[in-house]
Amino acid sequence: MSVPSLRIAVAARRIDPLAPNPPGTYTDHLVRVVRESPHGRDASPEPIVRTEHFILRRRGRRVELGHWLRPERLDNDLAGLLAEELFAPGWLSGNDIFERVFTGVVRSCVDGPLPAWTTFYDNTLTRIRERRHAPEHVEHSSIAGFAPVYLRTLDLVTEGPVLDMGSCFGFLPLLLAERDEPPGPPGPSPGPRRSPVIASDLARGTMRLLDRVARARGLRVDTLACDAARVPLPDRAVDTVTVIHVLEHLEPAHGEAVVREALRLARRRVVVAVPYEDEPTAAFGHVRCFGHDQLTELGRRTGCPFRVDSFHGGWLVLDHD
Per-residue model confidence as pLDDT tens digits over 247-300: 999 999 999 999 999 999 999 999 999 999 988 887 678 899 999 999 999 999
CA distance 314 to 304: 18
The domain limits of the chain are: 1-140, 157-319
Distances (CA, A) of 52 to 39, 62, 68, 159, 202: 12, 22, 9, 45, 33
- Secondary structure (3-state) at 321: coil
CA distance 40 to 60: 20
Question: What's the confidence (pLDDT) of residue 40?
Answer: 60
The pTM assigned to this predicted structure is: 0.85
Strand partners, 142: none
pLDDT-based confidence at residue 130 (cuts at 50, 70, 90): confident
Q: Is the pLDDT of residue 166 over 50?
A: yes
pLDDT-based confidence at residue 41 (cuts at 50, 70, 90): low
DSSP H/E element including 261:
helix 252-265
pLDDT (tens digit per residue) in 57-72: 998 889 999 999 999 9
276, exposed or middle or buried, with CB in 10 Å at 0-12, 13-18, 19+?
A: middle
Domain 157-319 class in CATH? alpha beta
Average per-residue pLDDT for the chain = 87
pLDDT (tens digit per residue) in 67-123: 999 999 999 999 989 999 999 999 999 888 999 999 999 999 999 999 999 999 999
**In this prediction, what percent of the chain has a pLDDT beyond 90?**
72
